[in-house]
């Protein structure tokens, strides 16, 4: 079998959607750690993960080059979904926001800070970035769900945020996903998702899995970064 996986963070770990590109089989489950996903029975050859991979040493306004390019592609209002990751020296302070903020600002003369929402993701960012470089270079790829949906939607950003009132954001994402091979599995994955996995976690993981299929087949659909990591795949 030739499994790939789309992975999104959720309340109690990570939600992964696996797809066998040879037999068009699928599976979805929650895992405690990203390492558990990597080492799962499915042995995915490609993992498309919604988490920053590759951090700067010195903070820059707007984050990494790939973050800035992603925002330009998406335009407003979806550009606001792309946050700037922390620098390496801030990452050890995952339990102390003030210390993390100080370290991020001290990394460059620009004195760039980090929002509390970003700090809340430090544990998951650390999980991804301490994985062996051999895996990060060959199997594990950073994606952003909004860019995945942008590609599925023929180069058009979605109109609504995924947490928009009355569920219009989720419904919009489901309409777009029904254009893909996941149209036959979408309802099942949403209905059977484990406790602690929200609908927006699930649709993001499905979109990431769609990108994982593309990365395996055509490994060139990335946000340009002068041929240097970090790179956001789409």
- Give average pLDDT by consecutive 10-residue segment, the chain, 234 residues: 93 96 93 97 96 96 96 96 96 97 98 96 96 88 96 96 94 97 96 96 98 84 55 84
Beta bridge partners of 141: 48
pLDDT given for residue 135 in this prediction:
87
Instruction: State how many domains the chain has.
Output: 2
| pLDDT score, position 226 | 45
The whole domain housing 86 covers 65-129
Q: Provide the CA 75 distance to its chain's centre, in angstroms.
A: 18
Distances (CA, A) of 158 to 130, 169, 188: 32, 8, 23
In a domain, 225, yes or no: no
CA–CA separation, 6 and 58 (whole Å): 30
Question: Is 45 in the same domain as 137?
Answer: yes
Domain boundary among 109, 129, 149: 129
Q: Which of 207, 230, 211 is nearest to 219 (CA)?
A: 211
In a domain, residue 233? The reply is no
Q: Is the peptide bond before 77 cis (omega within 30 degrees of 0)?
A: yes
User: Quick one: how many helices (H) and strands (E) in the chain?
Assistant: 10, 5
Say whether both 158 and 116 belong to one domain.
Answer: no
Report helix, strand or coil for 91. coil
SS3 at position 86: coil
Its pTM stands at: 0.93
Per-residue model confidence as pLDDT tens digits over 94-136: 999 999 999 999 999 999 999 999 999 999 999 999 999 888 8
**230 assigned to some structural domain:** no
Same domain, 171 and 200: yes
pLDDT for the residue numbered 230: 79
pLDDT, residue 196, reads: 93
Distance (Å, whole) CA 226 – CA 16: 30
Shared-domain flag, residues 125 and 140: no
* CB-based burial, 166-177: b 16+ in 10 Å, e otherwise: eeebbebbbebb
pLDDT at 127: 96
Query: Would residue 148 count as lying in a domain?
Result: yes
Q: Residue 152 domain-assigned?
A: yes
User: How many whole angstroms separate alpha carbon 156 and alpha carbon 177?
Assistant: 14
Residue 100 CA to residue 122 CA, distance in Å, equals 10
pLDDT on residue 134: 84
Q: Given 75, 107, 129, which residue is the final one in a domain?
A: 129
Residues 123 and 154 in one domain: no
Domain boundary among 129, 145, 169: 129
Specify the pLDDT at position 223. Answer: 56
Residue-level pLDDT at 160: 95
Burial class (CB in 10 A: 0-12, 13-18, 19+), 28: buried
């Amino acid at each position: 079998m030739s499994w790939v996986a789309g992975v999104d963070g959720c309340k109690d770990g990570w939600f992964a959607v696996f797809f066998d590109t040879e037999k068009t089989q699928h599976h979805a489950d929650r895992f405690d750690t990203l390492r558990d996903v990597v080492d799962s029975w499915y042995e995915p050859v490609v993992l498309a993960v919604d988490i920053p991979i590759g951090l700067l040493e010195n903070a820059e306004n707007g984050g990494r080059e790939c973050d800035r390019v992603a925002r330009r592609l998406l335009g407003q209002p979806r550009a606001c979904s792309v946050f700037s990751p922390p620098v390496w020296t801030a990452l050890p302070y995952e339990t102390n926001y003030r210390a993390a903020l100080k370290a991020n600002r001290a990394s460059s003369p620009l004195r760039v800070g980090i929002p509390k929402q970003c700090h809340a993701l430090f544990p998951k960012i650390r999980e991804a970035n301490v994985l062996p470089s051999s895996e990060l270079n060959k199997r594990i790829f950073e994606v952003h769900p909004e860019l995945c949906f942008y590609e599925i939607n023929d180069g058009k950003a979605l109109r609504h945020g995924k947490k928009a009132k009355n569920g219009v954001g989720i419904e919009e994402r489901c309409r777009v996903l029904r254009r893909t091979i996941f149209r036959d599995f979408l309802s099942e994955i949403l209905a059977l998702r484990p406790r602690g996995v929200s609908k927006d976690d699930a649709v993001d993981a499905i979109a990431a899995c769609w990108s994982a299929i593309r990365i395996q087949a055509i490994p060139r659909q990335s946000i340009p970064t002068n041929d240097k990591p970090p790179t956001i795949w789409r």
